[in-house]
Structure 1
Amino acid sequence: MVGSPTADDSTGVVVRRPGEGAATWAMGSLFEHLVGAEETDGLLGVSLVTQPPGIATPLHRHTHEAEAFLVLEGHVSYRAGDETYELDDGCFIWLPRSVPHAFRIRGTSPARFVAFTAPGGLMGLYDEVGIPARERRLPGADGLAPEEELPRWGEVGPRYGLEVVGPGIPE
């Protein structure tokens, strides 16, 4: 774990400063835990995510939680249901539970966004599939090779309500 959280056990308040808290390398990306289900009585999970250009997911859904994303930097093509949205700096998208969705990071620069899940707990999936980040950067060659990581999504994902339902967004 890189850094450590600041928490007030008497009030439940959690403060994360840059570089504090757990971080995971998965999908060639950096997932920084801002607040987790264990700190919110299961109500919410929030992560700061950095993903390189070209990263894409298959069309999938989450049966346990809703998701929302606030794009801080970069360009993301986001399919939700039958519509595809082009999201840039400052754009926000809300995905109710079980809505099929997929995304692709476009352009030549990484995308950074804040990811919210309600209830919390989905970050456990990334933690189980990925590896602890040694630094706050994209993993590059230090992360798991795709051929090693991809089978783990199929093994671990169903326990978290992850269901792949179709192909991703084309290049």
Structure 2
Amino acid sequence: MLNRSKLEAILAANPMPAQLTAAERKRVYRSAAPVNFLLTSKETNNALAIMEGTAVRGAEPPRHVHQHEDETFIILEGEMDFYIGEQLVTAIAGDVVFLPRQIPHHFVVKSEYVKNQIIISPGSFDQYFWYLSAPFKEGDKTGSVPPTPEELKAWKELVALFDVTFL
């Protein structure tokens, strides 16, 4: 259940600007994975958000369900298996995969890493990625690692504020 006041307080601590420069768009998610905010929810009146990022094998999120957002993945490099409800979809560079809201899903990176674009609609879930990211600096090392049990617990509590449930 969405806790609007707690969510607003968390987002106020790391607000996403209404307009971003090219340098501000490039960030590092969860201290390791590069993410580029191509188009934000603030720039589209929350219609959608588009991000480009890299997912590393072994650091994928657990199976989860979004109450409000559809996600569309465009695979640029690498290979992923998507588990959408009971369906398995294998995707490689050039493939597009749609994950509808309210359907449990997760993915597994099959190659060493996957570079992809993600379209989120409506777009406000991009603020979750903004909150968990920091400005990218030249020389930043990238490459996600699996979360510790403590990190997973905190991650689960944070996504719940966005009405996303880890299963």
The aligned residue for residue 73 of structure 2 is: 69
The RMSD of aligned alpha carbons is 2.7
Distance 1:60 1:91, change over 3 A: same
Q: Secondary structure at the match of 1:54?
A: coil
Structure 1 segments unaligned to the other structure (5+ residues): 7-15, 166-171
The aligned residue for residue 114 of structure 1 is: 117
- Once the two structures are TM-superposed, the CA of residue 43 in structure 1 deviates from its matched residue by 0.4
Q: Secondary structure at the match of 2:72?
A: strand
TM-score, normalised relative to structure 2: 0.76
- Once the two structures are TM-superposed, the CA of residue 5 in structure 1 deviates from its matched residue by 4.1
Whether 1:157 aligns to 2:159 is yes
Equivalent residue runs for 1:78-93 within 5 Å: 78-93=82-97
Distance 1:55 1:145, change over 3 A: closer
What is the count of residue pairs matched by the alignment? 149
- Aligned partner of 2:65: which letter? R
- Aligned partner of 1:154: which letter? K
CA contact (8 A) 1:129 1:153 kept: no
- Once the two structures are TM-superposed, the CA of residue 149 in structure 1 deviates from its matched residue by 3.8
Q: Indicate the structure with greater helix content.
A: 2
Post-superposition Cα deviations, 1:2-41, rounded to whole Å, max 9, x if no partner, equal xx846xxxxxxxxx6xx66242322842221111111000
- Find the aligned partners of 2:102 and 2:138 in 1 and give their Cα distance: 33
Post-superposition Cα deviations, 1:93-147, rounded to whole Å, max 9, x if no partner, equal 1122111100011123x2101100000011211222344333486624xx79833
Identity within the alignment, %: 26
TM-score, normalised relative to structure 1: 0.74
The aligned residue for residue 124 of structure 1 is: 127
